[in-house]
Amino acid sequence: MSRKAFIAFVVFSILSLNSGAQEKEKRFGLELSSGPSIFSGKLTGVTLNPGYGFEGTLQYRIIQYTDVYFGWGWNHFGSRSLFAGNKASFKNNGYVLGLQFIHPFMDPVSLFVRAGAVYNQIKVNGESGILLYDFGRGFGFQFATGIRIGLGSSWNLNFGIKLNSTIKKYVIDDISSNLNLNLLLMQVSIVKRF
């Protein structure tokens, strides 16, 4: 067998294995993630401590390597400062909708990139759990990247970093301001394809 024929055979074999693996990939996915969160900047003059959160998404494969995803997430932050004279906790929750691109890198590792829209809100609760302020809901964006490790039997483990950003107007004591809600999330997630 000539060298060119051998190289062509190897390339064809690798491509056919990769396409076969993609055909076997299930169309639907469920992802549950959790990890630490960092709020960049200050919220109405209050510095927030690092927090934690979780997110759940449903995914649907629309074309090879590309999913559309929809989900809901929640994050919690404490504070050393006082808000309206009270020790407060800040809770952010909302919805996300976007596209995810996953590309095989080196078996069983794949790289993923996400871009989407978020629709979220932030609430401030006092020590006793009483609602002190609701900033309302606003639109923003989400970017994420990371690696996916295949565990077999349609299970995957993701390690990633996300940026959620929302800019929204709010009013406190008849003073209008912009809320720049920028969250950096480091998350580990488990994904099941079905």
From the options 2.40.160.20, 3.40.50.2000, 1.20.1300.10, 1.20.1250.20, give the CATH code of 27-193: 2.40.160.20
* Cα distances (Å, whole numbers) of residue 92 to 54, 124, 170: 11, 9, 15
Rounded to two decimals, what is the model's pTM? 0.82
* Beta carbons of 135 and 121 less than 8 angstroms apart: yes
pLDDT tens column, 66-94: 999 999 999 999 887 777 667 888 999 99
pLDDT tens column, 88-103: 889 999 999 999 999 9
Percent of the chain with pLDDT over 90: 55
Sketch the domain layout of the chain as residue ranges. Answer: 27-193
Collapsed DSSP state (helix, strand, coil) of residue 188: strand
DSSP symbols for 26-94: -SEEEEEEEEEEEE-SEETTEEBPPEEEEEEEEEEEEETTEEEEEEEEEEEEEEEEEETTEEEEEEEEE
